[in-house]
Amino acid sequence: MTDLLDHLRAAVGDTHVLTSPDDVAAYVVDWTGVHAGRALAVVRPGSTEEVAAVVAACHEAEVAIVPQGGNTGLVGGGVPDASGSQVVLSLGRMRTVRSVDAVTGTITVDAGVVLADLHVAAEEAGRLFPMSLGSEGSCTIGGNLATNAGGTAVLRYGMTRELVLGLEVVLPDGRVWDGLRGLRKDNTGYDLTQLFVGSEGTLGVITGAVLRLFPATPRHATAWVAVPSVDAAVALLGVARDRAGVHLSTFEIANRQALDLVLTHLPGASDPIGEPSDWYVLVELAGAATEDGLDGALEATLGDTVDAGHVLDAAIASTPAQRSALWALREGISEAQKVEGATLKHDVTLPIADLARWTSEIEPVLDTILPGVRPVTYGHVGDGNLHYNLSAPVGRDAELLAAAPDLSRAIYDSVAAANGSISAEHGLGRTKAAAGASYKSAVEVDLMRAVKKALDPDGLMNPGVLLP
Amino acid sequence: MTDLLDHLRAAVGDTHVLTSPDDVAAYVVDWTGVHAGRALAVVRPGSTEEVAAVVAACHEAEVAIVPQGGNTGLVGGGVPDASGSQVVLSLGRMRTVRSVDAVTGTITVDAGVVLADLHVAAEEAGRLFPMSLGSEGSCTIGGNLATNAGGTAVLRYGMTRELVLGLEVVLPDGRVWDGLRGLRKDNTGYDLTQLFVGSEGTLGVITGAVLRLFPATPRHATAWVAVPSVDAAVALLGVARDRAGVHLSTFEIANRQALDLVLTHLPGASDPIGEPSDWYVLVELAGAATEDGLDGALEATLGDTVDAGHVLDAAIASTPAQRSALWALREGISEAQKVEGATLKHDVTLPIADLARWTSEIEPVLDTILPGVRPVTYGHVGDGNLHYNLSAPVGRDAELLAAAPDLSRAIYDSVAAANGSISAEHGLGRTKAAAGASYKSAVEVDLMRAVKKALDPDGLMNPGVLLP
């Protein structure tokens, strides 16, 4: 492997090939801590040409590559396995916004641009790049594209794949595919862009992208709403759609357990509603500077649903600081649960009409497997997507970890039976590759393997991720 | 081939295997009349199982299949070649709306459902399926999906690929892939659905789909606007976006030549604006029943742009009949041009910022190739998509046909130089398969061939279409 390391150093410069344990430490363990691998080296190219040279050298040496963005993934898709034979290819140095076309509404960026920096670049052009995630301060757009990231703006703007027009990709043999076309309409063959989006680094390395920009929405109307049940939340969603139409941009749910953890662990957090409730919804409308009916539409929505018994109480933000405080309750859940102790994460989608039935039916099943287990339920209910995360009974983390396979299987079986998805937005990574395949038909797994083999015949791109 | 015909008859019944010249006539010639092929047989299965049996029988006999929906395509992608050795597989009998889920906002349909019937089914559920095409009375959703159809609602709702959540596909060997999941979020592997959308029947036969439904938009504000130039139209688009935001649903352009043909050939058509203009725009805002600011937003848009000199005059529809009359001017262009005589069609996308420059630069080039050639220019300017169709100098159709290769090459070369697309929404079919490949990089053509070979290793699905 000395030869390969020499080639890599020649390609990107000595200082950007990391091999000492201290230097590589941050690149080989994922955010959850579950996946801690080893790497032959971490390589940090500074341009598409350098990425191509790195991939070509690895291809020549038959060494596997693990592409990595901000390393904020939750399923181990961006960290190496334990073999110590894989090269981590970090896109973190490729942080240039290449161009902005405000007329057409496009922005062309390097894969390593941090999502929050992309927001700023869009804003400076008077436009909006809507994708919003808890990790937006450190995740990169290349990672968002590779995993087809979701977040809190999917309800209105769609998943990452709906926000991209073209890609630049280094293929497994080191050739560069320049698909950086910023066209809404281009019907000239198979949609290769969509094939790479969500492929989790298993088909090539995304190095650049053309993304869609949208009209800015500086006006907001935001409320934290106490609802008696998931059914009531779904009813509120229907009314909000009718009353607020296209302005409805956020519709997030959280159970009381989730709020309790935030109130316990997030400094400065306070409950905006006096009386405790089993469920809460964060609802937000967003509009252009010229649109001034948002507050009225929100109030009408809440008025309709209070009368129907679907809403118990609501806190409406009347200042930007109040809006931030309501958002902090939602965005603090993941971190608060991590502080609380061991967490068993699930990221499932269900048909919206089945959400209430599913959540009420799964709880007793899980309580049978591990009495006292605490479902910390939250997520993007407008998309049917729940982060159905389990915390251990207080002080009994080891029992949660022991029961994890049984708990997850019970959840996934019931989701599959309801025609849901076992990974709504986090992807499959290493954690769920086997489970993902087990809930698919043989025909579908065959199709996925055929695609993988066609684009990566030597199996060197992120092996073990997405497909078992 | 007698054996194959026997198998096909056994699969779908004798009456649904057509072989006589009279019976097959309507299935072997496309709408343009340019592509007139021959077929071994036309087979009309009535279910997914029958489609699978037909495809398996053809696979066994090594006979090529041409899937066909409403046969309204414009690039010869749905009709057989001249060999007489191909089987046309018509989905026309599969017209069942399988289910509607108004809460989640999905509809599940057979591939042969006519687009207009799909509109009705969505309306009956109080929802909108937004795709709108001139051929919607006869095109099928399966064909729309296979070609990733566009139309007049793309500006707001996107291409067909943005409207689909899941597919059911019969693979080239006759196996059925059931990907009929109605989930907005499902990150469990490669997006096979998007791979089949726009693949023009070259990877399999789409037999069913889950599509997205949207809130109904019964309110409209519609205007036919005279503008002095393409530049002015683009400026008007910018103002309309700012003033009308998400309500802007249509922004179509037409030149005077296009309007003249409609006024000449469409019975009852009249010019809603007295003074002739070089260019026109059809602009429409659409909203929910509760949204009553549309007229005001349209008037504000026109007021701003009249003052800036971007708008010369406008006719605003004040009744549904007036609205229909304005739409008829736009939707009548294609038919009127057909009545006028020979047409050389182009369906190109350009970056919106380049539209004005491109249209002014290409005209003199074409006039040098064929003096007096008449560009009939219209299309979806909000998407950068022009149907840049040429009519012959009056009475000289033969000269247009003789000059066609040179004219098309000049147009495609200039579109490619501007980073545009030579097929915005019609696809490549047989007409543009070679041209499509010639404007792509070798890497991209290799990728497309790798995908084709992976899914259709025997090359039996619509050979000669999409890839040369």
Predicted confidence (pLDDT) per residue in A9-23, tens digit = 999 999 999 999 999
Q: Of residues B163 and A288, which shows the higher confidence score? A: B163
What would the DSSP string read from start to end of A217-272? --EEEEEEEEESSHHHHHHHHHHHHHHHGGGEEEEEEEEHHHHHHHHHHSTT---S
Q: Where do the CATH 3.30.465.10 domains begin and end in chain A?
A: 97-215
Q: How confident is the model at residue B7 (pLDDT cuts 50, 70, 90)?
A: very high
* Mean pLDDT score, B412-423: 96
pLDDT at B172 over 70: yes
Residue B152 amino acid letter: T
- B442 vs A: CB within 8 A: no
Q: Please say whether the beta carbons of B282 and B222 come within 8 A.
A: yes
Pairing of strands B164-170, B176-179: antiparallel
pLDDT at A204 over 80: yes
**How are strands ordered across the β-sheet holding B41-43?**
B17-18, B41-43, B87-90, B65-68
- A127 vs B: CB within 8 A: no
Chain segment B138-154, per-residue pLDDT in tens = 999 999 999 999 999 99
pLDDT at B103 over 90: no
Q: Report the alpha-carbon distance of residue B367 to residue B363 in Å, rounded.
A: 6
The architecture that CATH gives domain A2-90 is: 2-Layer Sandwich (3.30)
pLDDT at A1 over 70: no
Query: Using a CB-CB distance cutoff of 8 angstroms, which residues of chain A are in contact with residue B424?
Result: 183, 185-187
* Mean pLDDT score, A278-307: 92
Q: Where do the CATH 3.30.70.2740 domains begin and end in chain A?
A: 342-417
Distance from CA of A20 to the nearest CA of B (A): 34
Rounded to the nearest 10°, the torsion over CA A174, A175, A178, A179 is -80
- B98 vs A: CB within 8 A: no
**How are strands ordered across the β-sheet holding A41-43?**
A17-18, A41-43, A87-90, A65-68
- Which residue in the set A161, A177, A191 is minimally distant from B198, CB to CB? A191
- A62 vs B: CB within 8 A: no
Q: How confident is the model at residue A289 (pLDDT cuts 50, 70, 90)?
A: confident
**How many Å separate Cα A168 from the centre of its chain?**
21
Q: What separation in angstroms does the CA of A386 have from each of A30, A161, A203, A279?
A: 22, 20, 28, 13
Chain segment A210-268, per-residue pLDDT in tens = 999 998 999 999 999 999 999 999 999 989 988 887 889 999 999 999 999 999 999 99
Would you call A419 exposed, middle or buried from its count of C-beta atoms within 10 A (0-12, 13-18, 19+)? middle
ipTM of the complex: 0.95
Pairing of strands B65-68, B41-43: unpaired
Q: Of residues A167 and A134, which shows the higher confidence score? A: A167
Q: Where do the CATH 3.30.70.2190 domains begin and end in chain B?
A: 219-334
Residue of B nearest to A204 (CA): B447
Chain segment B252-300, per-residue pLDDT in tens = 999 999 999 999 999 999 999 989 999 999 999 999 887 788 999 999 9
Q: Report the alpha-carbon distance of residue A345 to residue A32 in Å, rounded.
A: 10
Query: Using a CB-CB distance cutoff of 8 angstroms, which residues of chain B are in contact with residue A383?
Result: 184-185
- Beta-carbon separation of A186 and B423 below 8 A: yes
Alpha helices in A418-458 (DSSP H): 433-438, 442-455
Pick the CATH number of B97-215 from 3.30.1330.60, 3.30.465.10, 3.40.1160.10, 3.10.350.10: 3.30.465.10
Residue with tokens 């006979």: B63
Query: Using a CB-CB distance cutoff of 8 angstroms, which residues of chain B are in contact with residue A103?
Result: 234, 238, 352-353
- Beta-carbon separation of B467 and A189 below 8 A: yes
Chain segment B10-48, per-residue pLDDT in tens = 999 999 999 999 999 999 999 888 889 999 999 999 999
Residue of A nearest to B456 (CA): A450
What pLDDT is stored for residue A241 in this prediction? 87
**Of all residues in chain A, what percent carry a pLDDT higher than 70?**
100
Rounded to the nearest 10°, the torsion over CA A35, A36, A37, A39 is 120
The architecture that CATH gives domain B341-417 is: 2-Layer Sandwich (3.30)
* Mean pLDDT score, B437-445: 97
Q: How confident is the model at residue B135 (pLDDT cuts 50, 70, 90)?
A: very high
What pLDDT is stored for residue B1 in this prediction? 63
Q: How confident is the model at residue A288 (pLDDT cuts 50, 70, 90)?
A: confident
What pLDDT is stored for residue B406 in this prediction? 97
Pairing of strands B385-391, B374-380: antiparallel
- Which residue in the set A188, A198, A246 is minimally distant from B187, CB to CB? A198
Query: Using a CB-CB distance cutoff of 8 angstroms, which residues of chain B are in contact with residue A191?
Result: 148, 161, 194-195, 197-198
Interface A-B: count of C-beta contacts within 8 A: 255
Q: Output the CATH code of domain A342-417.
A: 3.30.70.2740
Q: A219-334: what CATH class?
A: alpha beta
**How many Å separate Cα A142 from the centre of its chain?**
12
Chain-wide mean pLDDT for chain A?
Answer: 95
Residue of B nearest to A202 (CA): B190
Q: Please say whether the beta carbons of A422 and A452 come within 8 A.
A: no
* Mean pLDDT score, B184-208: 97
Q: Quote the crossing angle between the two packed helices B442-455 and A442-455, to the nearest 10°.
A: 150
- Which residue in the set B154, B197, B451 is minimally distant from A454, CB to CB? B451
